[in-house]
Structure formats: structure tokens, C-alpha cells
Structure 1
Amino acid sequence: MAICNHCGNGLEENAAFCPVCGAATSGQPPCEEVDAQQRPIQPVYMPVVQQPKTNGLAIAGFVCSIVGWFCCGITSIIGVILSIVALSQIKNRQEGGKGLAIAGIVIGGIVMVSVPLGVLSAFLPVLLS
């Protein structure tokens, strides 16, 4: 079995190019016959990509905004404040959690508007009569 001088891949007989690396085999010294067990094995290293840490205030603001729906909007105010502070920290510290912070602001704002409107609409017939 012929071996490519460039990448060490096995070649077919009379191959003009290596099918793996594309190196030309013509014009090079003839490939030596090597047993598959004699070929050195090259390890493959994969780079490790670190994901940015999620900001804790973004998580807390998101959770407080959602819980505000069940607590008549009280914790949604805290959630909006925490989420705004988290957005500032995320920008300065290059942390993750920007989506959570934005969602905390939006959900908290919706809850802060909808809960008083719901209470007002529930008592409006009583107030008008």
C-alpha cells in the first residue's frame, strides 16, 4: 500500500493526487510501502470555547418579573430594576444573559401595566353604580 508523503494517508496504486490532502504524487520520490501498524497516529485536538458566565441579576430580574404576575405586580417592579442593572453589568463585564435581562424588563413592564388595569376593570362596575 502506497502512503502519501504529505499527509500519510493510504493511496491507491498509480494515484496522481492524494484524495485527502490533494498533494500531487507525480514528480515526488516514490511513496514507500508501509504497514498500517507502522504509521504514526496524530492526535486531534479540539479547541475548548468558554461560554460567558450568565449574569446573576439578569436571572433574578427575569424570575422576579414572572413571579410578579402571581404577586399582584409587587415583585415585577423589583424585576425591572434588577434587569436594568443587569443590562449595564452585562455590557461592562462582557457577561451573558442579555436576553434574560431584556425579557425581565419586558415581562415586568407588561405585568406592571396589566395588573392595575385588571384590578381597575374588576372594580369599575362597582365604582360606576
Structure 2
Amino acid sequence: MTDRLREPLAKVLGARSAGPLEALGVSDVGGLLAHYPRRYGDPGRVSDLAGLALGEHVTVMARVARATVRQMRSRGGAMLQAVVTDGHHDLSLTFFAKRPGVLRHHEDRLRPGRMGLFTGVVGAYRGSVSSRTPTT
């Protein structure tokens, strides 16, 4: 049993999955078992768009008003910008990816009029409340 705990993650999970974990300092099975998450999500709690606080990790239920993918000029990659609403308040959502093609799937799913649950960290951009969510 002790030998199994010392087994390298690259051997157990494959190099592609083990790479990001090794960047966190987790290199073997025992290290993975002792690695705890930074935070726990609360999927049962839905926040009201009217009461969002900067820096808060929230989940909101809202209707998609619009969504568009665009190439980022300054640093490469692409971003999907969406606006969702509860009928009274709007929230801008921003998703990032290395290539626009990765975001096209999300853009297709975020058609105007569709309802959804959206999770992310509340921030401010140019005076507007927004949620920024990294996407790979």
C-alpha cells in the first residue's frame, strides 16, 4: 500500500493530467490524497443580481440577453462576452480562452432568451459589475 502512495501521478493519470498538479507541488498519489481544495462551492445557494458584492464567488440564475466571441488584440486569445438579466438587473459575463473556436460552443449555448445558472467571481470593469470566468 505504501508503495502505491509513492507512485508518480504521471504514471497513474498520464503526463497531461499530472502536469498541472505537479505545478501545484503534487507529484505522487499520496500528495494528491493530501491535497485539499481552496474553496468549496455552494451549488444550492443562488444569489440575487441586485445584491452582488465585488470579490464574491456567486451563482446566479438569469436569462441570456446577448453573447459574442471576439479576438483579443492586446494579448492574444479570445473572449466571450455575454450579458444576462433577471428582468431588472443586468450582469456582464466574460469567458477567456486561447482560441476563439473553444468559445464558439459556449456562444452557441448562450442564445438570447435561454435561462441558465452562471457561476463566477464578481468584479468591476469600466464601472460595471461583471463576472469573470476562465475557460480552457
Q: Please report the TM-score for the alignment, with normalisation by the length of structure 2.
A: 0.20
Could you say which structure has the higher strand fraction? 2
Q: Please report the TM-score for the alignment, with normalisation by the length of structure 1.
A: 0.20
Could you say which structure has the higher helix fraction? 1
> Which protein shows a greater Rg?
1
